[in-house]
Amino acid sequence: MWKQPAPANSSFNDYNTFPLPQTQRGQSSHAHGPVGHTQQPLVTGTSVLGLKFDKGVMIAADNLASYGSLARFRDIQRLHPLGKHTLLGVAGDMSDFQWLKKELDALLREEDALALSDSHPSLSPKNIYELLSNLFYARRSKMNPVWNAVLVGGWDKVKEESFLAYVDLLGTTYTAPTLATGFGAHLAQPLLREAFEAKAGINGDGPLLTQEEAEKVLDDSMKVLFYRDARSINKYQIATITAEGVSISDSKSSDTYWKFAEGLRGYGAQTQ
């Protein structure tokens, strides 16, 4: 009954050398070392921008997937339509994004299959956003986050209004008429807000931007991001979601002006 005190490291069993009967409950799984989860993203996409306008919502993202600081994949689409009236713009880990696409596509495919039998409409943008919020929060709570920041844009057919919301790897969620992830939250969000509030006012109760105005604001913001975000490239797409559905533009580039760079110390021709 009164045993000798056990040697301190027996509670570790560092090398998994104890005979099985002596293994304490719960110890065997730790015997192989701590449980490992994703602790950093690998191939990443940078900012995604979202902006509501008078007939819907637009989402923009560039075509780059970086491997660290290397511009590794330069033709990646980070805008993914889900059904007729929802679109995801995804920043962060691209393999997690690809997994997410596959899961959500399978879910919506099942919804569509069932709809043949009962004619019930598929999941709304709000429903998909709710699912993503739950998923991201559940995964971060398991210390195994889905390493993305996502903008969900859509058209709510019942309320006849646009939908725009944000969710990220921490399970953080919010919604606003202008949204941006990552670097864009610092550099582009002020520009988007300024343009939005110039017409709609601080409360957003005035007229919204027109489609042309909204696209111009996004073009300008993407240019600023290209100038200042070292993980971006000058090649991006804009998705437009309205009552008619989702359309994703071809890739496009901003006109850039680099003359000023001549005068920058360390960049131009000067030696000093």
Partner 1 sequence: MFRNSYDSDNTTFSPQGKLFQVEYALEAVKQGSAAIGLRSKTHAVLLTLKRSTGELATYQKKLIRIDDHVGVAIAGLTSDARVLSNFMRQQAMRSRMTYGRAIPVGRIVQSIADRAQTNTQEYGKRPYGVGFLVIGQDETGPHLYEFSPSGTAFEYYAHSIGARSQSAKTYLETNFASFENATLAELINHGLSALHDTLQQDKHLSLANTSIAIIGPSDGEIEDLNHSSAAKRGNFRVWENDGVNNLLRAWRRSRGENEDGPQEEEDKPKPEAEAETAQSAEGSEQAPPGAPAAGEDVTMEE
Partner 2 sequence: MTSIGTGYDLSVSTYSPDGRLFQVEYAHKAVEAAGVAIGLRCKDGVILGVERLLHSKLLVKGANRRIASLDEHIGLASAGLLADGKHLARRGREEASSFRENYNSPVTVQILSDRISAYLQAYTCYGSVRPFGLSSIVGGVDKTGPKLFCIEPSGVYYGYRAVAVGKGKALAKTELEKIVNKNLESGTEGGLTVREAIDEVARIIYLVHDDNKDKDFELEMTWICEESGNKHALVPEDLLKSAEEKAKAALEEGMEED
- Tell me which residues are annotated as active site: 38
Count CB-CB contacts under 10 A for residue 203. 7
Residue 131, binding choice from partner 2, partner 1, none, Cβ under 5 to 8 Å by partner class? partner 1
What are 193-197's contacts with CB under 8 Å, separation 24+?
A: 196/51, 196/52
Q: Considering only 111-119, 148-156, 169-177, 251-259, which stretch makes contact with partner 2 by CB under 8 A?
A: 111-119
Please state, in angstroms and rounded to a whole number, the distance separating the CA atoms of residues 205 and 208: 8
Residues paired with residue 236 on neighbouring β-strands, in sequence order: 62, 252
Closest approach of Cβ 242 to partner 2, in Å? 21
* Position among 44, 124, 173, 234 found at the interface with partner 1 (CB under 8 A): 124
Binding of partner 2 by 40 (CB under 8 A): no
Q: Which C-beta is closer to partner 2: that of 103 or that of 161?
A: 103
Q: Considering only 43-51, 126-134, 212-220, 249-257, which stretch makes contact with partner 1 by CB under 8 A?
A: 126-134
Please state, in angstroms and rounded to a whole number, the distance separating the CA atoms of residues 223 and 217: 10
Displacement of CA 148 from its chain's centroid (Å): 5
221: tokens are 């913001």
Binding of partner 2 by 102 (CB under 8 A): yes
Question: Any idea what DSSP says for residue 240?
Answer: E
Phi, psi of 125 (to 5 degrees): -55, -40
Residue 201, binding choice from partner 1, partner 2, none, Cβ under 5 to 8 Å by partner class? none
Binding of partner 1 by 127 (CB under 8 A): yes
Residue labelled with tokens 């069932």: 114
* Position among 31, 73, 95, 131 found at the interface with partner 1 (CB under 8 A): 131
Q: Considering only 43-51, 105-113, 157-165, 232-240, which stretch makes contact with partner 2 by CB under 8 A?
A: 105-113
Closest approach of Cβ 134 to partner 1, in Å? 6
Phi, psi of 151 (to 5 degrees): -105, 130
Please state, in angstroms and rounded to a whole number, the distance separating the CA atoms of residues 202 and 194: 9
Across 69-160, where does the E strand assignment appear?
70-73, 79-82, 86-93, 148-156
* Position among 16, 28, 68, 112 found at the interface with partner 2 (CB under 8 A): 112
Closest approach of Cβ 44 to partner 2, in Å? 22
* Position among 1, 8, 20, 113 found at the interface with partner 2 (CB under 8 A): 113
Closest approach of Cβ 111 to partner 1, in Å? 10
Residue 123, binding choice from partner 1, partner 2, none, Cβ under 5 to 8 Å by partner class? partner 1
Displacement of CA 185 from its chain's centroid (Å): 12
Please state, in angstroms and rounded to a whole number, the distance separating the CA atoms of residues 270 and 272: 6
Q: Considering only 69-77, 89-97, 116-124, 171-179, which stretch makes contact with partner 1 by CB under 8 A?
A: 116-124
According to CB under 8 A, which residues from 76 to 115 bind partner 1? 114
Which amino acid belongs to residue 85? Answer: H
Please state, in angstroms and rounded to a whole number, the distance separating the CA atoms of residues 76 and 65: 6
Query: For binding to partner 1 (CB under 8 A), which residues are involved?
Result: 114, 117-121, 123-124, 126-128, 130-131, 134, 158
